[in-house]
Amino acid sequence: MTIIIKNKETLIFDKFEFRCSIGKNGISKNKIEGDKKTPRGTFKIGNLYFRKDRNKKPDTKIQCIPILKNMGWCDDIRDEKNYNKLIKIKKKINHEKLYRRDKKYDYLIPINYNSKKRILGKGSAIFIHLTENYKTTLGCIALKKNDFLILLKLINKKTKIKIY
């Protein structure tokens, strides 16, 4: 089954329809780092990362990885080795911090965009994560926590996401 991003505020999976938010500048086939656009295409999804200090491990068929204080996602276009990968935070590498005060990343699933043959500057750290107010994102897809938890029960490691 495939998660469908139908428009800038609707995520569909099977018979479920959820309100969501996407990148501030819409959807683009030609995503570049920092453009605040959500990439267009069909992608695999990654593992679930979650804050176990705030939440119990959810009911899901995908692998669950607790978020540690030193975890980040490299968005440094100068770092060919680590770009668009999970990293141990180092001061000299630009990154998205996963262990945050706000609750956006209490649950997150990386979208495997620009992850196999990574191209520097083509976009990184594209996640499905949480929102409290449906504010636009920097390129990710955001859901309310209850909807995210319902989606987690339905998906598995073969689930893909189609954004168009």
Cα(first)–Cα(last) distance of the chain, in Å?
A: 16
Average pLDDT over residues 23-37: 98
pLDDT at position 91: 85
pLDDT tens digits along 71-115? 999 999 999 999 999 999 988 999 999 999 999 999 999 999 999
Which pTM value belongs to this model?
0.96
**Percentage of the chain exceeding pLDDT 90:** 97
Residue 75 and residue 95 in contact, taking contact as beta carbons nearer than 8 Å: yes
156 has a pLDDT exceeding 90: yes
Average pLDDT over residues 47-62: 97
Q: Hunting for tokens 């968005």 — which residue is that?
A: 75
Average pLDDT over residues 31-55: 98
- Rounded to whole angstroms, the Cα distance separating 103 from 101 reads 6
pLDDT at position 90: 85
Which residue type sits at 36? K
**Which backbone phi and psi does 149 adopt, to 5 degrees?**
-65, -35
Length of the chain in terms of residues written:
164
CA 129 to chain centre: 5
pLDDT tens digits along 132-153? 999 999 999 999 999 999 999 9
pLDDT at position 45: 98
Q: CA quadruple 17, 37, 2, 164: dihedral positive or negative?
A: positive
Q: CA quadruple 32, 85, 101, 162: dihedral positive or negative?
A: positive
Domains, the chain, ranges and CATH?
2-163 (2.40.440.10)
